[in-house]
Amino acid sequence: MSYGLQYLQSRTNISIKGDEYETITTYEIQLIPEAELGRGSFAEVVLARWQGIMVAVKRMKRGQVREFKRELDIWRGLQHDNIVPCYGASLAADPPFIVLKYMQNGDLLQYLRRTPDANRAKLLHDVALGLLFLHSKQVVHGDVKSGNVLIDDAGKACVTDFGLAIKYQPTGDGKDRSHPVGTLRFMAPETITQGLRTYASDVFAFGMLMYETYTHRLPHSDARDADVASGKLVLSRPTSEQAISRGLNDDVWDLHQSCTSPMPEKRLTAKMISAKLAEIMYTYVVDPSLPKLNFEIIALPSSTSIHVQGSSYDASLLAVPSALSDGTSASRKA
């Protein structure tokens, strides 16, 4: 163990394994002056160069070592096309940092403002696949919102920021009092009132993300924080021409409502959301006049991948049409 890690462990009483947490050193990172990508309560993200490529470096603020270790423990175990890749980290650095893939198109709303004709259903489908993967790994994200969805150079949406993520324990109460519980206007009622964070609360936040994606507005943007914190407000369906032109139709709004039921047990799962968005995405991309297809999640070998419009998807988590309207089965060779 390096001297820096020994010193850090002596000051924090946190067990740290050098091989596990010091995978990239400060000397390997070349920070780009005045290139801040983002800033939050616990960290800042800056642009840097590492091994000849541009990367994003998340630097934790002092006093956040325990939270940093917790986030890193979760993030480094997540490899999926719709999760921002974590390349490595150092707990010995001052401040500690995580090195991430640089997503040059910024966050979801930034991308949509520059690309108004983007297929929002496809982007949301990307996010849903990311959530489906997280939940399959027993991870609750805890802070789903547009700022935590980044877009890569191919226009693919990826989930980022696991500072509030937890490992879900089905036998527990879902409460986690060591962290803030998320972003108020995306929080489920049970999160606001009881501190519960579960797969269902992620789904609720996803429903609020849908609203934000089609309106470019925060949920309950006109309401006071105190009213939002009551957990009793209900969103009205947007009727603006902009929202409609962006694709907010009956199917999209029905899906939003199915995600944001006040009763957690009545909300859809990430798997159901992925299948529904695949159907909506198909209609948007191909032709609204075509007959609707029924979609379902199919199980394929984990080594199988499918490429759609420059994006690569894990086929085992992809929604595909189960049958055509005339009853003909839809099939594909893996």
328: in domain: no
Lowest mean pLDDT among 69-73, 108-112, 138-142: 69-73
Residues 152, 299, single domain; the answer is: yes
Above 80 in pLDDT, residue 7? Answer: no
pLDDT of 268 above 70: yes
Of the pLDDT bands very low, low, confident and very high (cuts 50, 70, 90), residue 174 is low
User: Under a CB-based contact definition with an 8 Å cutoff, are residues 330 and 321 in contact?
Assistant: yes
| Residue that has been written with the tokens 């920021």 in this structure | 161
- Among 61, 83, 101, residue at a domain's last position: 101
What is the tens place of the pLDDT at every residue in 182-206?
Answer: 899 999 999 998 899 999 999 999 9
pLDDT score of 4:
41
Q: Is 276 annotated as a binding residue?
A: no
Residue 59 forms part of a structural domain? yes
Q: Are residues 55 and 201 in the same domain?
A: no
CA-to-CA separations, 174 to 139, 182, 289, in angstroms, rounded: 12, 14, 44
| Per-residue pLDDT, 316 | 46
Considering the domain architecture, whether residues 114 and 80 belong to the same structural domain is answered as no
For residue 79, pLDDT beyond 50 = yes
Q: Is residue 333 part of a domain?
A: no
Q: What is the mean pLDDT of the chain?
A: 82
Indicate the residue among 60, 76, 101 that finishes a domain: 101
DSSP string, 62-103: TT-HHHHHHHHHHHTT---TTBPPEEEEESSSSS-EEEEE--
Same domain, yes or no, for 70 and 153? no
* One domain, residues 312 and 219: yes
Per-residue pLDDT, 114: 97
Could you tell me if 72 and 160 lie in one domain? no
- What whole-number distance in Å separates Cα of residue 125 and Cα of residue 17? 38
Task: Please check the confidence at residue 326 and state whether its pLDDT lies above 60.
Answer: no
Report the percent of the chain where pLDDT is more than 70.
74
Q: Are 95 and 127 found together in one domain? A: no
- Domain end position, chosen among 52, 84, 101: 101
State yes or no: pLDDT of 303 exceeds 50. no
Look at residue 290 in the predicted model and tell me its pLDDT.
55
Answer yes or no: is pLDDT of 306 > 70.
Answer: no
Measured CA to CA in angstroms, residue 18 lies from 3, 28, 71, 92 at distances of: 10, 17, 17, 9
Q: Is residue 331 part of a domain?
A: no
Cβ 330 vs Cβ 309: under 8 Å:
no
Of 143, 152, 176, 314, catalytic: 143
How large a percentage of the chain has pLDDT more than 90? 58
Where are the strands (E) in the chain, listed by range?
30-39, 43-50, 53-60, 86-90, 97-101, 139-140, 149-151, 157-159, 166-167, 294-297, 305-308, 311-314, 319-323
pLDDT at 42: 80
Do residue 44 and residue 129 come from a single domain?
no
What average pLDDT does range 149-156 have in this prediction? 97
**What integer pLDDT is reported at residue 264 of this predicted model?**
96
How is residue 304 written in tokens? 């199988």
Do 218 and 312 lie in a common domain? yes
Report d(CA 48, CA 33) in Å as an integer: 9
Segment 15-48, tens digit of pLDDT: 445 445 568 988 899 999 888 898 877 889 999 9
Exposure on the CB side of residue 291, measured as CA atoms within 13 A: 9
What domain range is 310 assigned to?
108-323
* 154: in domain: yes
- Amino acid identity of residue 171, one-letter, is T
What is the distance between the alpha carbons of residues 282 and 259, in angstroms, rounded to a whole number?
20
| Predicted TM-score (pTM) of this structure | 0.79
Total tally of structural domains belonging to the chain: 2
Residue 84, domain member (yes or no): yes
The per-residue pLDDT for range 83-119, each reduced to its tens digit, is 999 999 998 888 899 999 999 999 999 999 999 999 9
* Per-residue pLDDT at 293: 57
Q: Note the pLDDT of residue 20.
A: 57
| Contact assessment for residue 301 and residue 334, using Cβ atoms and an 8 Å cutoff | yes
Q: Residue 169's pLDDT band (boundaries 50, 70, 90)?
A: confident
Active site residue 326: no
Query: Strand pairing of 97-101 and 53-60?
Result: antiparallel
Residue-level pLDDT at 18: 46
The closest of 39, 89, 43, 40 to 67, measured between CA atoms, is: 43
Q: How far apart are CA 240 and CA 251, in angstroms?
A: 17
Query: Which residue did the predictor score with more confidence, 79 or 326?
Result: 79
**Spatial separation of the C-alpha atoms in residues 321 and 298, rounded to whole Å:** 9
pLDDT digits (tens, 9 = 90+) for 202-227: 999 999 999 999 999 999 999 999 89
My answer on whether 269 and 152 are in the same domain is yes
Tell whether 127 and 227 lie within a shared domain.
yes
Q: Which residue has the higher pLDDT, 16 or 57?
A: 57
SS3 126: helix
Contact 46, 37 (CB under 8 A): yes
How many CA within 13 A on the CB side of residue 225?
A: 2
Residue 50 lies in a domain: yes
Beta carbons within 8 Å of 299's beta carbon, 6+ residues apart: 316
Residues 97 and 150 in one domain: no
Contact 168, 138 (CB under 8 A): yes
Q: Are 249 and 291 in contact (CB under 8 A)?
A: no
pLDDT for residue 103: 97
pLDDT for residue 171: 63
The CATH number given to whatever domain includes residue 15 is: 3.30.200.20
Contact 317, 305 (CB under 8 A): no
Within a domain: residue 201?
yes
Provide the CATH number for the domain around residue 267: 1.10.510.10
Maximum Cα–Cα distance across the chain: 69
